[in-house]
Amino acid sequence: EAQVTQNPRYLITVTGKKLTVTCSQNMNHEYMSWYRQDPGLGLRQIYYSMNVEVTDKGDVPEGYKVSRKEKRNFPLILESPSPNQTSLYFCASRTGGGYGYTFGSGTRLTVV
Amino acid sequence: SQELEQSPQSLIVQEGKNLTINCTSSKTLYGLYWYKQKYGEGLIFLMMLQKGGEEKSHEKITAKLDEKKQQSSLHITASQPSHAGIYLCGADTADKLIFGTGTRLQVFP
């Protein structure tokens, strides 16, 4: 089954403790992206990647890092999480032609 | 930058009633997506429209893109409690999907 898999689904952590949210897709998509969703602010892009070793900042990249060492994986790294990064995070992928985005099931992160 | 505005923000309908949600773009749409989201859960893909005047249907949901490609509507016929959730429109750009503000739909018996 074609899908984008995020892990974990839920995570509670403390301020300053480094964490990684993983994202993997099995559709050989070139493009992958991370979004965060917050009440009243909607979905905002954090980082995206057009292909392996090619990443770029989205609208709200501060406090986040990403890497794209292989096509299928696009982890989101929070080096020193803060409470304002408490949010619902989504990973998405699409083909290079831009036809059809597939979203993961989401990761609900709480930073205390 | 492109912006999407959805209306209404919230909708409460009785089961069996028809309803329409609108999505208006500040720029020409080259790919318009409709998603449904249950509170706090993932995005469920509904439909994608690309051509002016295009219309697609799936079960009781119909989406249209106007000829000028700046407005889309989502119409639900004979609504059911299973239709409840947040409906999001998304515009495809070169590097991301830009989302509308969302429409929260509640369906009561």
The pLDDT of residue A97 is above 70: no
- A17-43 tens-digit pLDDT: 999 999 999 999 999 999 999 988 889
The pLDDT of residue B18 is above 60: yes
Question: Which 3 state secondary structure label does DSSP give B89?
Answer: strand
For residue A42, list chain B residues with Cβ-Cβ distance below 8 A: 99-102
Residues of B with CB under 8 A from a CB of A: 31, 33, 35, 40-43, 45, 48, 88, 90, 92, 95-97, 99-102
A100 and B90 within 8 Å at the Cβ level: the answer is: no
Distance separating alpha carbons of residues B68 and A100, to the nearest angstrom: 22
The pLDDT of residue B96 is above 90: no
Question: Band of the pLDDT at B42, cuts 50, 70, 90?
Answer: confident
For residue B40, list chain A residues with Cβ-Cβ distance below 8 A: 88, 106, 108
For residue B92, list chain A residues with Cβ-Cβ distance below 8 A: 98, 101
Of A58, A102, A106, Cβ closest to residue B96: A58
Q: Are strands A31-38 and A10-13 parallel, antiparallel or unpaired?
A: unpaired
Average pLDDT over every residue of B72-88: 96
Of A42, A56, A98, Cβ closest to residue B92: A98
Distance separating alpha carbons of residues A86 and B84, to the nearest angstrom: 26
Which candidate, B99, B78, B106, places its Cα nearest to that of B25? Answer: B99
Question: Which 3 state secondary structure label does DSSP give A84?
Answer: helix
Question: Band of the pLDDT at A108, cuts 50, 70, 90?
Answer: very high
